[in-house]
A and B are shown apart, each in its own frame.
Chain A
Amino acid sequence: MPRTIIPFGPQHPVLPEPVHLDLVVEDEKVVEARPSIGFIHRGLEKLVEKKDYVEFVYVAERICGICSFIHSQTYCQGIESLMNVAVPPRALYLRTVWGELSRIHSHLLWLGLMADAMGFESLFMHSWRVREKVLNVVEATAGGRVIFGSCKIGGVRRDIDAETIKQTITDLDSIEADIAEITKVFINDRSVKARLGGVGVLSRQQAYDLGCVGPTLRASGVAQDMRTLGYAAFKDLDLTPITRTEGDSYARCAVRCDELLQSIRLIRQALAKIPAGEVAVKVTGNPNGEIIARTEQPRGEVVYYLKATGAKNLQRFRIRTPTFANLPAMLQLLQGCDLADVPVLLLTIDPCISCTER
């Protein structure tokens, strides 16, 4: 059978961000996918040498437009552990709330993109309608819609007053009702099941061996969630990782649907328990030493490596983002799939190329 190479991306209707794949096909079957990345490399890791460690929070937050808050949170957590800063409990709870809000809007964005990739335009619009409500809550509490800008070393930049907390809880009721409505369609609708069910099956062992993280790993039955490490306020909250055992695209979609409702429950718990007090402590001096900070982003575990030498600027900064860990799994899924399944399989790991390329 003669082989043909079909270029896929960097501009493609299903791709929210640029990544290029050379798809080697035999007839309509993909035999191999050769990726090439680097279209949006911005050299952010190198920038630590120019920006001091306090200013760099802004850069860390801009690594990705979707998991923005969790990037700044992870960076701050790393620096705080290096400098032995005790973050006030209220700040930890606020970070948890904003982190979960960011997870909700990221998952809703993904659900919309997935619906769009399979041609379900009305479901795409409804997912993003609900996302808009979440963004309004984010804007009212943090001040920004996508870039929260509320995390800083030693705590958070702003507090949420009692009235806004009450309003947020009321808004969450309506968001939860809307989410329940649309996730019912994703989980029960026959056409969604037919499009995603059995497509791109990743067994538990395969997912583990390929080093998958986040919903991609949990959909294959591995209950790994960095939030169970208990960073921020998660140690005080009731959290069980959501897993599925099927390992196909439908399972990955269902895990994200369930995580939406789980995040809402976590925000409710955090807002009910939030302690009073300061939201930030003054940080003086410069960090020294090296550290690894880990948190759970909407797409999975992110690992930050920070190395400081006691100067104002860090010496080395390195991130292992969740999409980077999930790329080998995506290439594995693409081998042997139908050409028509490529858009679905590409989106199924929730690729975030900005994160991957920094």
Chain B
Amino acid sequence: MAYLEMSRLALKWAMKRPPTTRYPFRPRRAIAGSRGQLDLDRATCVYCTACAKKCPTGALLVNRAKKTFAIDRLRCISCGYCVEICPKDSLRLSTSHGGPAVTRDREF
């Protein structure tokens, strides 16, 4: 019987549909609770720079005088530290991972 252990498993799966998702024809279903890309609610942000000071990778650049918020997507590690310390709860990690970033330019 020891010869048949794998054959049984292989036969079982030969009858089934593949467990992999047919990407890109079927996009991946986002998992609730996943830490994706960082989103900012500009209406509530007071540009206090707390997030930029605490960001462990230095991905955020916030200017209080000019009221600008810029993020370097290649540096952001979606750790959620900024979300935790934001006094106005303006930051949020969405479940979507967004499009691929290819340059170091900061996104405003």
Which residues of A does B touch, CB under 8 Å?
51, 55, 58, 120, 122-123, 126, 129, 132, 136, 139-141, 143-144, 147, 149, 157, 164, 181-182, 184-185, 188-190, 193
Contacts and interface: CB of A to CB of B under 8 A. Distances in A.
A182 B5 CA distance: 9
Interface string B51-93: 0000010000000000000000000011111001000000001
A149 B34 contact: no
Contacts of A129: 19
Chain B interface mostly: loop
Given A157-B84, A190-B2, 15 more contacts: A58-B56, A58-B77, A58-B79, A58-B81, A122-B6, A122-B10, A136-B31, A140-B34, A143-B33, A143-B93, A144-B35, A144-B78, A184-B5, A189-B2, A189-B6
B79 A181 contact: no
A182 B9 contact: yes
A148 to B, nearest CB: 10
Contacts of A147: 77
Chain A interface mostly: helix
B14 to A, nearest CB: 10
B88 to A, nearest CB: 19
Contact of A181 (B9, B19, B33, B35): B9
Contact of A140 (B3, B13, B31, B81): B31
Contact of A123 (B6, B34, B35): B6
Contacts of B34: 139-140, 143-144
A122 B6 CA distance: 9
A287 B33 CA distance: 32
B3 to A, nearest CB: 6
Of the four ranges (under 10, 10 to 19, 20 to 34, 35 or more), the interface on chain B belongs to: 20 to 34
Given A149-B79, A184-B5, A189-B2, A126 B13 contact: yes
A157 B80 CA distance: 9
Contact of B33 (A58, A149, A164): A164
Interface of B: 1-3, 5-6, 9-10, 13, 19, 31-35, 56, 77-81, 84, 93
B91 to A, nearest CB: 14
A97 to B, nearest CB: 14
A58 B76 CA distance: 12
Contacts of A132: 19
A139 B31 CA distance: 7
Contacts of B13: 126
A188 B33 contact: no
A193 B1 CA distance: 13
A51 B80 CA distance: 17
Contacts of B35: 143-144, 149
Contact of B2 (A123, A144, A182, A193): A193
A272 to B, nearest CB: 21
Nearest to A149: B79
A51 to B, nearest CB: 7
A328 to B, nearest CB: 34
A143 B32 CA distance: 8
Nearest to B12: A181
A147 B20 CA distance: 22
A149 B33 CA distance: 13
A141 B32 CA distance: 9
23 contacts: A51-B56, A55-B56, A58-B77, A58-B79, A58-B81, A123-B6, A126-B9, A129-B19, A139-B33, A139-B34, A140-B31, A141-B33, A143-B34, A149-B77, A149-B78, A149-B79, A185-B5, A185-B6, A188-B1, A188-B2, A189-B5, A190-B2, A190-B3
